[in-house]
Amino acid sequence: MSGFLPISRTDMEQRGWDALDFIFVSGDAYVDHPSFGPAIICRLLEKHGYRVGIIAQPDWRSTTDFARLGKPRLGFLVSSGNMDSLLNKFTAAKKTRHADAYSPGGQAGCRPERAVIVYCNCLRQLWKDVPLIIGGIEASLRRLAHYDYWSNCVRRSILADSQADLLIYGMGERQILEIAADLHQGLPVSDIQDVKGTCYKVPDFDYVWDYEKLPSFAEVTKSKNLFAEAFKIEYLEQDPIRGRKLVQQTDGFCVVQNSPAMPLSEAEMDEVYDLPYERMWHPCYDEAGGVPAIREVQFSLVSHRGCFGGCNFCAIISHQGRIIQHRSHASILREASLLTHMKEFKGYIHDVGGPTANFRRTSCDMQLQRGTCRGKSCLSPVPCRSLIADHSDYLSLLRELRALPGVKRVFIRSGIRFDYLLLAKDDFLRELCKYHISGQLKIAPEHVSQRVTTIMGKSAKNIYLEFAERFRRMNEKLGKKQYLVPYFMSSHPGAHLQDAVELAEFIRDLGYRPEQVQDFIPTPGTLATCIYYSGIHPLTGEKVYTATSYEEKRMQRALMQYWEPCNHAIVSKALHLAHRTDLIGYDRKCLVKPLNSGGKRLRAESAGRTGKSKRNKSVKEKV
């Protein structure tokens, strides 16, 4: 019998099952690995005695696939998968992506747009009375009225459009076990209203008590000021300890958001990651070449969840929260030992971390008693006085992993917060450079303009330069040639053309030529998206400029790759608009050469200025 969960009636019959308790409908191909949300939820339910099956990437053009496993005893669980289905399909320029790493063979087009809504509506056609419970990143970040970049409008809660009964937001393990127990005991799904980390619908405000009232859906669609006010309330209550219940009038009913679920304990985290995953895609995808997304995580280890970094373009705070939840060393070492016995394992653990690799402890010791600070960031614009910068536990874990038989190297590839690293008084930088980098360290300063980094919630340029210098000196001391690969973002709220030019000059001075550039994408649930749509910083009330036109976004993006011939004309235009024509010419500090009347580059008149540039075209920043 296959160790995978059932995906067909044949699989059910092999187990002697005539019906399932839960059926999970997912927009991703079925990969039984703890980096894939559907696998975690299904394995956890299985561990607690429930019969669970999976319908992965059903054909939504009819209801046939949705009936494949029959009618579940307790309910359907629906998710778009590891990504929002619209972000999965479209780029920042709203162009269709040509591949989908979460589909067999990387093939695009295996899931519909707004997958959660489409799947739920198909299920409702088949069964009117079966509980529908939605979750995952798409449902989690669209739980209340939200701005949708791809339709350029404010949409109501996904609970309304999907016809679902319950919405689980956040990671979901604690919530699904509570809901499953209630359903198993015969409680109607309409009566399950006390589970933290869930949303549900009620007829009106008389059905709720002890809550904070949000501006209604009708109000936030008409007023950007009220949209920002609603987001501010949601953002400030995003805490499992001090957060309040929120209620929003939406058409003829109210959407209720209970406060976030409590963080998982170390024992609960261990339970989640010690489950018997197959750690591979289902064999039915072998002919297609498998599911590409597993390659990045197959030999990586999740050590913790949550992030207190406070990046305002990131949805982690709305999904995993700011409070760090970690696994025990024993659990991580058990998983690492499993990897060493896999046939494809070559001795290299590719990553050990979480959303931010070097955040393995809570930012301060008070969070688990009183919650996170309301409206304050741990690191930006300056570090909190209560912040405890300490890598000792992480260092101990890395040393234990390096000592495991069969492990040759342990790398860190997930994000490092270099501002946090600089605050610590330990040996983390030395051990990072000595043992855990394979020539390059990817970090994310994101921008260098003070105006932009402040709105981003990132540290200032001088902090990055200080880290780069310390990184250079440490590698010199160790006799290593290693490089920083910084990531930068264009068109973030607050970024004017002048800021984009400042970033281009910084890139020029580094001798850095990024092959790929990230343009800001306004995804639901982030503070930066609220600013993008409303033009208002919701926490301060200040008006913030944002590049929203295709032309200016294109200019800001092109400035980060000013040397590309295809960008020459648009960069020249941007420099004229920014009143920086001093950067057009033949001097080594210039970004582009002049154009002739036909829009083509002029050749330098002197022989000493002709020929191709010999500047470093590497994606590495030499330090």
> What is the per-residue pLDDT for 611?
38
> What is the per-residue pLDDT for 598?
56
Q: Identify the band that residue 156 occupies on the pLDDT scale cut at 50, 70 and 90.
A: very high
184 within domain boundaries: yes
516 within domain boundaries: yes
- pLDDT surpassing 50 at residue 617: no
Share of the chain above pLDDT 70, in %: 95
Q: Using an 8 Å Cβ cutoff, are 367 and 361 in contact?
A: no
Least confident stretch, 100-109, 263-272, 332-341, 362-371: 362-371
> What is the per-residue pLDDT for 615?
40
For residues 464-495, b (16+ Cβ closer than 10 Å) or e, as one string? beebbebbbebbeeeeeebbbbbebbbbbbbb
What is the biggest distance separating any 2 CA atoms in the chain, rounded to whole angstroms? 86
Q: Which of 151, 176, 199 is the last residue of a domain?
A: 199
CA 150 to chain centre: 18
- pLDDT surpassing 70 at residue 345: yes
Please count the other Cβ atoms lying within 10 Å of the Cβ belonging to residue 383. Answer: 17
Q: Which of 147, 172, 199 is the last residue of a domain?
A: 199
CATH number at residue 173: 3.40.50.280
Residues 342-358, mean pLDDT to the nearest whole number: 95
For residues 363-377, b (16+ Cβ closer than 10 Å) or e, as one string? bbeebeeebbbeeeb
187 within domain boundaries: yes
Residues 504-514, mean pLDDT to the nearest whole number: 93
> What is the per-residue pLDDT for 599?
56
Cα Rg, the chain, nearest whole Å? 25
Q: In angstroms, what CA-CA distances link 260 with 116, 159, 197, 239, 318? A: 21, 17, 4, 6, 9
573 within domain boundaries: yes
Q: Identify the band that residue 2 occupies on the pLDDT scale cut at 50, 70 and 90.
A: low
Share of the chain above pLDDT 90, in %: 91
Would you state the structure tokens that stand for residue 450, as one six-digit string? Answer: 């003070």
Q: What is the number of domains present in the chain?
A: 2
Residue 531's domain comprises 484-623
For residues 32-70, b (16+ Cβ closer than 10 Å) or e, as one string? bbbbbbbbbbbbbbbeeebbbbbbbbbebeebebbbebe
334 within domain boundaries: no
> What is the per-residue pLDDT for 621?
40
Q: In angstroms, what CA-CA distances link 586 with 228, 426, 569, 606? A: 46, 47, 16, 10
CA 349 to chain centre: 22
Please write the tens of the pLDDT for every residue from 452-498. 999 999 999 999 999 999 999 999 999 999 999 999 999 999 999 99
Residues 607-621, mean pLDDT to the nearest whole number: 39
Q: Which of 182, 199, 216 is the last residue of a domain?
A: 199
> What is the per-residue pLDDT for 602?
53
Nearest CA among 164, 67, 46 for reference residue 115: 164
Residues 512-529, mean pLDDT to the nearest whole number: 92
Please write the tens of the pLDDT for every residue from 37-48. 999 999 999 999
> What is the per-residue pLDDT for 94?
94
Would you state the structure tokens that stand for residue 537, as one six-digit string? Answer: 């910083």
> What is the per-residue pLDDT for 413?
87
Q: How much is the pTM?
A: 0.92
> What is the per-residue pLDDT for 515?
82
- pLDDT surpassing 80 at residue 613: no
Please write the tens of the pLDDT for every residue from 542-578. 999 999 999 999 999 999 999 999 999 999 999 999 9
Residues 331-358, mean pLDDT to the nearest whole number: 96
Residues 379-393, mean pLDDT to the nearest whole number: 93
455 within domain boundaries: no
Name the average pLDDT for the chain: 93
253 within domain boundaries: no
How many residues in the chain?
623
For the chain, how many helices (H) and strands (E)?
Answer: 22, 22
575 within domain boundaries: yes
Burial bucket for residue 434 (CB in 10 Å: 0-12, 13-18, 19+):
middle
> What is the per-residue pLDDT for 415?
86
